[in-house]
């Protein structure tokens, strides 16, 4: 009656005031009222119908938004509070999305086990999921069906199976060593450690290296930085609330700009992954051309290789296209990085607040690992039940995925409640882990919950989805397949952090307690970063007498043997054990990160000199010059230093054979080259071999290389040592030590050294008449040796020792990046009115130093005579860099010595000499058929 009266009154007013504009306004009002009545009646009828069906309990809702007003940025906490009022299973409207929340172990079992087939899909009605999964072409969000089953089988048997994880164990070991070494550097420097940031860098690098041999966190910038930012942005957007995902009438409206940002992320990820896929395919084509296959036992594949294998397999059940591969890689990168890092950060926070637990964990590690001559490894984990219990207790209180999300594929009845198809299901793992019905004092951190009376891990309570009181990784067929990687990585990383360091809180306030506030996100991270100070507990560093009184070991390794007896060095080796890698970083910290040290390139790029050198070095590449570039003839002037019955030592000098343009760029001190020549006596040259030894970083004298070559006199092998430009007596007056002043100096040093070494080999061949020749070098000298062996017109023994394939690895990725004057390089560009960020400066450095990439040089005449000697725990040269060289030069050999960069050239001279002899033995004598 009220409505009728209202309309009658309005009609009367129209008759009294017949105005067309008013008529239109009133018509609009009436239509709006009628529409409201119709929509209201539809809603009322729908609710009445639903009331006839038994739905789970539900709190009062509001029109349009439903229950969205009840949720905060931490919905798992809100769901938990609602469950205390409305029960373990509740029904909610999140906008236009129908949802059900399960908050107890019993409810979770109903959905994930008893009715698993009805809840095996994941929600797909979100803008972020649709875009970043390439239209649900990955694995995580693919609909349950033949494609998903095929990818699950591939994932469990090939991608994350035991064989693949074992093959990629070295990647995890290498990245963990880098992580620990970085922590050690900060500890020595007295710097606070942002635990979350360091752990995120570790897990990002582990996952991306295992997936596609590409780091995602690096101070070098470039593609690593692009990948890191893509993953970071993806995680951020995926965890944000997007109003268009919950209100049907907003579906086509990009209110918050999500679609624009998602498109931009896709473009960056596509460009990056296209390059990575092309690199993998190029390597695969090269292997096929060389007659090898990706199935060889000694060929370690990454996950991308396996996906490419499947895509090329004509007999595969499902044909994978490029979008499938990209979507799967995105799934792994996003799903595998934050979760493990966040778990370990929460664990460290709990341990700081529970020092008794931390001390008990250390005691267990000491009992298992022994006298600490090695760092804990993954193979130790079965014997560390308390470490496992700490991680499980952390996952109970702080599951990284607080809500396990599913979607009902067909109408189901669960625990007597009607669940319509397309209903979104949220299993509140956070609430389940804090349920007092299953956990005594659930808010207390007590790893002992998971230990039996004998000190062993409880078998009836685990995190692998069979015990619904604890399901941080989900359960059933949609359970997270990455558990086989995430758990061992979390166990061993946490154990090594406790074994190697003592931790103290920096920002915990007066009470010294870490706050446990959560922050919103795709995972549930800490609201505030946890900053800790660490004290190193390695024995080699605890032994202050050895570390301080024998600091010459760190600062003057080239002169080590003058100060220490052979017995003393062996003792240090025994103590180092697995800590060679850390020693490299400690040495690097003292050499390159103290206030007293001078950085590399403190005077900038080198101006026009750099541009000239870039052009000249490119002339060495085979696409420009080929291998027919003749060396320059030289005539050294000799003087005898000493002579014995079996050998003689001479020193010589000659004008550097560089062309005028290069000669003018060199400092005057470097214009004359100096050599030392140690030669056996009473043997004709044609029956002898001679090896030219090139200078490594800091080789200012002939001493170390003469000591290396001296014993070879007995093998009728002569040693010729070349003093490099910018080193020794050829060092510019303003240069301190080996710290080159400009980037151009590094390229000058390399180009001039190559010219001089090639001329010396020519002299040994044509003038001295030696029967065999070779060239070797350590570290930087090894890079130069590889280039010389590559460019020489006749076969020579080529022996790079502890060498990278490119200076990019040393200065942009390795320890030396800490000793580079990045700010000075940026300021130098600013004087030329070129504004760059530090990351752009690092990218420019990578481009310049890519000219030193040995893989761009031609394959040597006899690759069988190429032997690389590399260290297993080298902190300066990563293994992948050595393997790049071997791949580029098929037929070459890599030999591994146990040690780091610093310790290996002190302790493995015998291995270097053996490689020299073996390499020369693979060459024919001059004049033989």
CATH number, domain at 761? 3.40.50.1820
Reported as a single tens digit per residue, the pLDDT across 299-321 is 568 889 989 999 998 888 888 99
Flag whether pLDDT at 574 surpasses 80: no
| 551 domain-assigned | no
> If pLDDT is split at 50, 70 and 90, which confidence band does 810 have?
confident
pLDDT beyond 80 at 602: yes
Whether 394 and 498 map to the same domain: the answer is: yes
- Return the pLDDT at 296: 46
Instruction: Find the CATH number of the domain harbouring 397.
Output: 1.10.630.10
Kindly report which listed range (232-241, 647-656, 773-782, 872-881) carries the lowest average pLDDT score: 232-241
Q: Report d(CA 100, CA 80) in Å as an integer.
A: 13
Q: What is the pLDDT of residue 16?
A: 38
Average pLDDT over residues 761-766: 95
Q: Please tell me the pTM assigned to this model.
A: 0.61
* pLDDT given at position 811: 86
Mean pLDDT of the chain: 82
Residues 391-407 pLDDT 10s: 999 999 999 989 999 99
Output the pLDDT for position 19. Answer: 45
527 and 639 inside one domain:
no
Look at residue 577 and tell me if it is in a domain.
Answer: no
> Is 47's pLDDT higher than 60?
no
Buried b (16+ CB within 10 A) or exposed e, 447-473: bebbbeeeeebeeebebebebbbbbbb
In a domain, 555, yes or no: no
* Same-domain check for residues 475 and 623: no
Name 575's Cβ contacts closer than 8 Å, sequence gap at least 6. Answer: 373, 539, 540, 543, 546
Q: pLDDT by residue (tens digit) across 609-658?
A: 777 777 766 665 544 344 456 889 999 999 999 998 889 999 999 999 98
pLDDT of the residue at 913: 95
DSSP 435: -
- Judged against a pLDDT cut of 90, whether residue 881 lies above it is answered with no
pLDDT single digits (tens) 421-448: 999 999 999 999 999 999 999 999 999 9
Residues 264 and 164 in one domain: yes
| Residue 437 belongs to a domain | yes
353 vs 572, higher pLDDT: 353
| 511 and 638 assigned to the same domain | no
Residues 517 and 617 in one domain: no
896 domain-assigned: yes
Give the count of domains, the chain. 2
The answer to whether position 586 is within a domain reads: no
CB of 895 closer than 8 Å to CB of 922: no
191: three-class secondary structure by DSSP: coil
Q: What is the mean pLDDT of residues 143-161?
A: 87
Asked if residue 342 is part of any domain, the answer here is yes
Q: Which of 169-183, 584-598, 620-634, 737-751 has the lowest mean pLDDT?
A: 584-598
In contact, 227 and 220? CB cutoff 8 Å? no
Q: Which of 216, 224, 219 is nearest to 200 (CA)?
A: 216
Please tell me the predicted confidence (pLDDT) of residue 161: 82
488 and 339 in a single domain? The answer is yes
Regarding whether 630 and 508 lie in a shared domain, the answer is: no
Taking only the tens place, the pLDDT of each residue in 483-493 is: 989 999 999 99
CB proximity list for 185: less than 8 A, separation 6 or greater: 585, 586, 588, 589, 593, 818
Of 533, 549, 577, the last residue of a domain is 533
480 is in an annotated binding site: yes
Indicate if 516 and 619 belong to the same structural domain: no
* Domain of 730, in residue numbers: 608-921
In this prediction, residue 17 carries a pLDDT of 39
Confidence at residue 444, expressed as pLDDT on a 0 to 100 scale:
96
Domain membership flag for residue 825:
yes
Q: Which of 511, 533, 555 is the last residue of a domain?
A: 533
Which of 499, 516, 533 lies at the terminal end of a domain, its last residue?
533
Q: Please check whether residues 512 and 627 belong to one and the same domain.
A: no
Work out the percent of the chain whose per-residue pLDDT is above 70.
Answer: 82
């Amino acid at each position: 009656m009220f409505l009728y009266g209202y309309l009658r009154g309005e009609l009367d007013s129209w008759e009294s005031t017949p105005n067309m504009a008013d008529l239109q306004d009133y018509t609009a009002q009436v239509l709006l009222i009628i529409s409201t009545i119709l929509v209201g009646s539809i809603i009322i009828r729908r609710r009445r119908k639903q009331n006839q069906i038994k739905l789970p309990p539900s709190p009062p809702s509001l029109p349009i938004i439903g229950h969205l007003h009840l949720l905060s940025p931490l919905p798992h906490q809100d769901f938990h509070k609602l469950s205390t009022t409305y029960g373990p299973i509740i029904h909610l409207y999140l906008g236009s999305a129908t949802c059900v929340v399960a908050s107890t172990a019993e409810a979770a079992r109903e959905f994930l086990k008893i009715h698993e087939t009805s809840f095996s899909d994941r929600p797909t009605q979100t803008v972020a999921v649709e875009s970043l999964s390439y239209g649900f072409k990955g694995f995580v969000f693919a609909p349950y069906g033949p494609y998903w089953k095929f990818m699950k089988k591939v994932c469990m048997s090939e991608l994350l199976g035991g064989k693949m994880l074992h093959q990629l164990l070295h990647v995890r070991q290498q990245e963990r060593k880098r992580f620990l070494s970085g922590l050690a550097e900060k500890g020595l420097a007295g710097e606070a450690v942002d635990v979350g940031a360091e752990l995120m860098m570790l897990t990002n690098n582990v996952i991306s290296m295992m997936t596609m041999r590409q780091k995602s966190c690096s101070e070098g910038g470039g593609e690593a930085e692009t990948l890191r930012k893509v993953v970071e942005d993806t995680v951020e957007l995926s965890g944000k609330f997007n109003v268009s995902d919950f209100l049907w009438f907003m579906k086509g409206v990009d209110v918050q700009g999500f679609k624009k940002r998602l498109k931009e992320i896709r473009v960056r990820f596509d460009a990056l992954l296209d390059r990575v896929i092309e690199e993998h395919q190029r390597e695969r084509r090269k292997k096929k051309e060389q007659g090898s296959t990706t199935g060889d036992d000694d060929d370690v594949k990454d996950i991308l290789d396996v996906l490419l294998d499947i895509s090329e397999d004509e007999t595969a059940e499902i044909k994978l296209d490029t979008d499938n591969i990209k979507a799967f890689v995105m799934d792994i990168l996003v799903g595998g990085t934050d979760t493990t890092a966040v778990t370990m950060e929460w664990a460290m926070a709990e341990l700081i607040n529970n020092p008794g637990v931390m001390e008990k964990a250390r005691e267990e590690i000491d009992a298992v690992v022994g006298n600490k001559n090695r760092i804990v490894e993954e193979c130790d984990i079965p014997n560390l039940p308390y470490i496992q219990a700490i991680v499980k207790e952390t996952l109970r209180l702080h599951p990284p995925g607080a809500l396990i999300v599913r979607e009902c594929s067909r109408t189901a009845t669960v625990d007597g409640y009607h669940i319509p198809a397309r209903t979104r299901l949220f299993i509140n793992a956070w609430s389940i882990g804090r349920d007092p019905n299953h956990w005594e004092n659930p808010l207390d951190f007590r790893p002992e919950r998971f230990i039996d009376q004998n000190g062993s891990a409880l078998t009836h309570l685990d995190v692998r989805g069979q015990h619904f009181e604890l399901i941080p990784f989900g359960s059933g067929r949609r359970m997270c397949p990455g558990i086989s990687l995430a758990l061992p990585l979390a166990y061993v990383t946490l154990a090594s952090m406790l074994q190697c360091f003592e931790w103290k809180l920096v920002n915990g306030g007066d009470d010294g307690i870490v706050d446990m506030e959560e922050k919103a996100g795709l995972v549930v991270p800490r609201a505030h970063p946890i900053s800790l100070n660490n004290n190193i507990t390695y024995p080699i560093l605890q032994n202050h007498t050895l570390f301080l009184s024998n600091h010459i070991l760190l600062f003057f390794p080239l002169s080590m043997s003058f100060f220490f007896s052979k017995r003393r060095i062996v003792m240090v080796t025994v103590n180092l054990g697995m800590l060679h890698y850390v020693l490299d970083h400690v040495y690097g910290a003292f050499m390159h990160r103290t206030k007293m040290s001078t950085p590399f390139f403190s005077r900038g790029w080198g101006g026009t000199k750099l541009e000239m050198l870039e052009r000249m070095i490119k002339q060495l590449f085979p696409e420009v010059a080929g291998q027919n570039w003749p060396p320059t003839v030289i005539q050294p002037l000799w003087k005898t230093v000493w002579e014995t019955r079996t050998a003689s030592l001479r020193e010589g000098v000659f004008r550097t054979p560089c062309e005028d343009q290069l000669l003018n760029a060199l400092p005057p001190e470097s214009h004359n080259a100096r050599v030392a020549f140690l030669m056996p006596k009473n043997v004709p040259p044609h029956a002898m071999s001679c090896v030219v030894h090139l200078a490594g970083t800091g080789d200012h004298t002939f001493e170390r290389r003469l000591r290396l070559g001296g014993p070879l006199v007995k093998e009728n092998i002569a040693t010729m040592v070349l003093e490099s430009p910018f080193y020794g007596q050829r060092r510019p007056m303003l240069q301190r030590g080996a710290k080159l002043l400009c980037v151009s100096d590094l390229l000058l040093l390399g180009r001039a050294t190559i010219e001089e070494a090639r001329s010396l080999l020519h002299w040994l061949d044509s003038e001295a008449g030696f029967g065999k020749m070779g060239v070797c070098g350590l570290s930087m000298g090894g890079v130069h040796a590889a280039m010389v062996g590559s460019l020489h017109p006749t076969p020579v023994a080529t022996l790079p020792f502890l060498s990278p394939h490119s200076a990019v690895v040393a200065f942009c990725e390795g320890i030396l990046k800490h000793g580079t004057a990045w700010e000075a390089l940026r300021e130098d560009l600013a004087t030329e009115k070129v504004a760059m960020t530090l990351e752009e400066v690092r990218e420019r450095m990578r481009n310049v130093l890519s000219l030193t990439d040995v893989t761009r040089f031609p394959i040597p005449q006899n690759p069988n005579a190429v032997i690389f000697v590399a260290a297993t725990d080298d902190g300066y040269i990563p293994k992948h860099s050595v393997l790049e060289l071997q791949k580029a030069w098929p037929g070459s050999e890599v030999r591994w010595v146990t040690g780091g960069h610093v310790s290996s050239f002190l302790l493995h001279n015998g291995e270097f000499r053996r490689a020299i002899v073996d390499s020369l033995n693979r060459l024919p004598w001059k004049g033989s058929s």
